[in-house]
């Protein structure tokens, strides 16, 4: 009797095990241990950059003429003349000519870098070297009287200024300009340079 019971239990054991396998959840096999993986870097969301519409270009406003800024003088031209060949002293003639329909008052003061002369202002360069021989480049300025010279440039007329310089023998390029007041404006009117030869 005991033997029969034992055989029955053994026969029923595979069925019991099979049933137990059917009702238990299936667990995935664990992965073999490996190197620890770093946490993934969170992705930064790409925010589109807003397109800024182009700003309109500002319209420049004309600025008032500052006291130390030279204005142009339409209707007045300058010429510089001299004999092509000189001996010793060089006399230069600077002429302002007007095509305006009204008279114009001109005022200049003495220039301490131009031997205290009123007008015109000159710069003389040695041809071939561009060496400035006048005015003196040493930086020494003369002490001049503070008086003013006043001239009237008539409508359609002209005003002449002369300068006499003593230059050593050589070839020179002479630049000349008028710098002063014309009416209420501070102006600078340049003439075409001339080439002179001093014997």
DSSP 117: B
Q: With b meaning 16 or more CB within 10 Å and e meaning fewer, what string describes 24-44?
A: eeeeeeeeeeeeeeeeeeeee
Kindly list the structural domains of the chain, giving each domain's residue range(s) and its CATH number in brackets, ordered by start: 76-198 (2.60.40.2360)
Per-residue pLDDT of the chain (199 residues; tens, 9 = 90+): 556 666 666 665 555 555 555 555 555 555 555 555 555 555 555 655 656 555 555 544 444 444 456 777 889 999 999 887 777 787 899 999 999 999 999 999 999 889 899 999 999 999 988 899 999 877 677 788 888 999 999 999 999 999 988 888 899 999 999 999 998 899 999 999 999 998 8
């Amino acid at each position: 009797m005991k033997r029969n019971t034992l055989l029955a239990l053994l026969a029923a054991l595979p069925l019991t095990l099979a049933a137990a396998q059917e009702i238990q959840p299936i667990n995935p096999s664990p992965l073999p241990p490996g190197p620890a993986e770093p946490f993934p870097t969170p992705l930064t969301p790409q925010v589109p950059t807003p397109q800024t519409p182009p700003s309109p270009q500002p319209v420049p406003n004309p600025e008032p003429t500052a006291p130390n800024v030279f204005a142009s003088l339409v209707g007045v031209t300058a010429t510089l003349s001299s004999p092509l060949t000189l001996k010793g002293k060089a006399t230069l003639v600077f002429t302002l000519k007007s095509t305006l329909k009204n008279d114009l008052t001109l005022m200049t003061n003495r220039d301490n870098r131009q031997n205290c002369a009123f007008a015109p202002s000159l710069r003389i360069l040695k041809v071939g070297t561009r060496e400035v021989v006048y005015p003196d480049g040493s930086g020494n300025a003369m002490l001049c009287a503070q008086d003013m010279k006043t001239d009237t440039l008539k409508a359609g007329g002209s005003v002449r200024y002369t300068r006499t310089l003593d230059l050593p023998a050589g070839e020179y390029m002479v630049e000349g300009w008028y710098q002063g007041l014309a009416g209420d404006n501070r102006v600078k009117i340049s003439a075409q340079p001339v080439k002179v030869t001093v014997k």
